[in-house]
């Protein structure tokens, strides 16, 4: 590269999913052993027919669908989110406290851009979601790892010991990516109390909320009348409605915070996808029963994963939920080398724990993330058959 390169980008790891896909280059899988791809947590099927028809109708008959819209999103979608989520969380969310983004990753980057700059610190539990770490690296924000240990549930006391005068935020993901675990409501409350006491933001990414195995609200943070002084909620419509290609996410935060977010969004994208927002709004109004069925299927696959690892000698299931199982492997080799060998020898594509942990992490060398949401019961059974037969 002959032109100057921002040093922060040079120090940022490449996108892990793209890196793992390159492991497939030149590899031929036997006809009786097709590739099982459990590397990425994204729906691979189209949205349901009714939603596709709504998108097509908007594309053909709604001229506004092809124009710039409000930077913070369509008013109708913001109102629908405020209404539905106020009811779901038993709290009070105003439409002016909701912004729509081009996917949940943009929601995170927009919020974080308003919170932290070069030299500031953000606490991320490990194993972490790699795109969160990548943004912090690109922004020259120091990532402070919070080890979650064998339970994968972060400790508020351990987090408190990491706070310095440069700390700006704590980021939690529940149900967790990559760990799959569902954080107890009391854990989130304790982190809210810590963040408030220390003047930090608490960001909770609930991208996989629709596939939580628990019933009812997963936490009571929105019941606090002063929630907006500390708590920031992130969400994605990609998983629930299979809208990955349309890029629709959401931020729920204080009006003052969203005024700053608007500056970022106007500069980066001007406005979120109009068609995507129309699809998300239609989904919220019409697909609750369909999403419930999708949740049931994911929970059935989760059960199959739990049972499969219980019967697989040497492997240890650390966490399992929503789209993910997070495991320890039994082999005397690092997980990145192991995952590459699994591609060639077992035709399975997984992501190693080294992609979710700090460089040199011994835990990362023993861990693997398995995204099982796109694999049916037969595929899960075949994956376990191959893992049982695998010898490095």
DSSP 110-128: HHHHHH--TT-EEEEEES-
Tell which of 259, 287, 315 closes a domain.
287
How many helices (H) and strands (E) the chain has is answered by 15, 13
What is the spatial distance between Cα 235 and Cα 108, in angstroms, rounded to a whole number?
9
pTM (two decimals): 0.95
Q: How many CB atoms lie within 10 A of CB 362?
A: 10
Q: Which pLDDT belongs to residue 139?
A: 97
Tell which of 223, 257, 287 closes a domain.
287
Answer for the pair 347, 386: CB distance below 8 angstroms, yes or no. yes
Q: Among 231, 229, 147, which residue's Cα sits nearest to residue 219?
A: 231
**Is 57 in the same domain as 164?**
yes
**Is 141 in the same domain as 30?**
no
Retrieve residue 97's tokens: 């406290």
**Is 282 in the same domain as 340?**
no
**Is 316 in the same domain as 283?**
no
**Is 247 in the same domain as 298?**
no
* pLDDT band at 43; cut points 50, 70, 90: confident
Tell which of 287, 317, 342 closes a domain.
287
The total domain count for the chain is: 2
Identify whether 130 is part of a domain.
Answer: yes
**Is 248 in the same domain as 259?**
yes
Identify whether 193 is part of a domain.
Answer: yes
User: Does residue 270 have a pLDDT over 70?
Assistant: yes
The predicted model gives 186-204 an average pLDDT of 98
Answer for the pair 121, 200: CB distance below 8 angstroms, yes or no. no
Identify whether 2 is part of a domain.
Answer: no
**Is 155 in the same domain as 249?**
yes
Look-up: residue for tokens 């835990």? 363
Q: What is the CATH number of the domain that holds 37?
A: 3.90.1150.10
Identify whether 100 is part of a domain.
Answer: yes
Question: In the chain, what is the greatest distance between 2 CA atoms, to the nearest angstrom?
Answer: 60
Q: Which pLDDT belongs to residue 1?
A: 59
**Is 133 in the same domain as 281?**
yes
Identify whether 170 is part of a domain.
Answer: yes
| Packing angle, helices 274-286 and 75-89, rounded to 10 | 40
Identify whether 1 is part of a domain.
Answer: no
Identify whether 58 is part of a domain.
Answer: yes
Q: What is the CATH number of the domain that holds 103?
A: 3.40.640.10
**Is 72 in the same domain as 156?**
yes
Answer for the pair 351, 323: CB distance below 8 angstroms, yes or no. no
Q: Which pLDDT belongs to residue 292?
A: 96
**Is 178 in the same domain as 264?**
yes
For the chain, the average pLDDT equals 95
**DSSP letter assigned to residue 229:** G
**Is 117 in the same domain as 140?**
yes
CA dist 365 to 18, 320, 337, Å? Answer: 20, 19, 9
Domain ranges, residue 155: 49-287
- Angle (CA) 251 252 253, round 5°: 110
Q: What pLDDT digit, counting tens, does each position of 57-106 carry?
A: 999 999 999 999 999 999 999 999 999 999 999 999 999 999 999 999 99
Question: Which helix (DSSP H) or strand (DSSP E) does residue 295 occupy?
Answer: helix 288-310
Beta strands 98-101 and 249-252 are antiparallel
């Amino acid at each position: 590269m002959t032109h100057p390169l921002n040093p922060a980008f040079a120090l940022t790891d490449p996108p892990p999913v793209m890196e793992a896909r390159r492991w497939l280059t030149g590899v031929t899988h036997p006809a009786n052993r097709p590739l099982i791809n459990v590397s990425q947590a994204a729906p691979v099927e189209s949205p349901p027919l009714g939603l596709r028809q709504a998108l097509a109708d908007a594309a053909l008959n709604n001229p506004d669908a092809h124009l710039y819209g409000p930077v913070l999103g369509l008013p109708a979608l913001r109102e629908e989110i405020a209404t539905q989520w106020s009811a779901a969380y038993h709290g009070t969310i105003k439409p002016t406290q909701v912004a729509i983004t081009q996917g949940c990753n943009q929601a995170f980057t927009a919020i974080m851009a308003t919170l932290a700059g070069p030299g500031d610190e953000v606490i991320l539990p490990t194993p972490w979601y790699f795109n969160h770490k990548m943004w912090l690296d690109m922004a020259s924000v120091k990532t402070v790892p919070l080890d979650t240990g064998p339970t994968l549930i972060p400790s508020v006391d351990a987090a408190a010991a990491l706070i310095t005068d440069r700390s700006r935020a704590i980021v939690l993901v529940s149900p967790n990516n990559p760990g799959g675990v569902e954080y107890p409501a009391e854990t989130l409350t304790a982190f809210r109390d810590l963040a408030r006491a220390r003047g930090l933001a608490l960001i909770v990414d609930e991208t996989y909320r629709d596939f939580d195995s628990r019933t009812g609200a997963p936490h009571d943070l929105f019941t606090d009348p002063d929630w907006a002084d500390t708590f920031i909620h992130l969400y994605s419509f990609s998983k629930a409605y299979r809208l990955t290609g349309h890029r629709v996410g959401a931020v729920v935060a204080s009006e003052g915070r969203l005024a700053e977010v608007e500056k970022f969004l106007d500069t980066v994208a001007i406005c979120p996808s109009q068609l995507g927002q129309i699809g998300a709004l239609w989904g919220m109004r019409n697909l609750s029963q369909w999403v419930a069925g999708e949740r049931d299927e994911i929970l059935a696959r989760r059960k199959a994963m739990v049972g499969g690892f219980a019967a697989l000698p040497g492997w240890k299931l650390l966490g399992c939920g929503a789209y993910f199982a997070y495991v320890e492997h039994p082999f005397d080799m690092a997980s990145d080398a192991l995952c590459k060998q699994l591609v060639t020898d077992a035709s399975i594509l997984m992501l190693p724990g080294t992609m979710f942990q700090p460089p040199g992490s011994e835990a990362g060398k023993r861990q693997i993330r398995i995204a099982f949401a796109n694999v049916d019961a037969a595929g899960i059974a075949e994956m376990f058959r191959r893992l049982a037969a695998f010898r490095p």
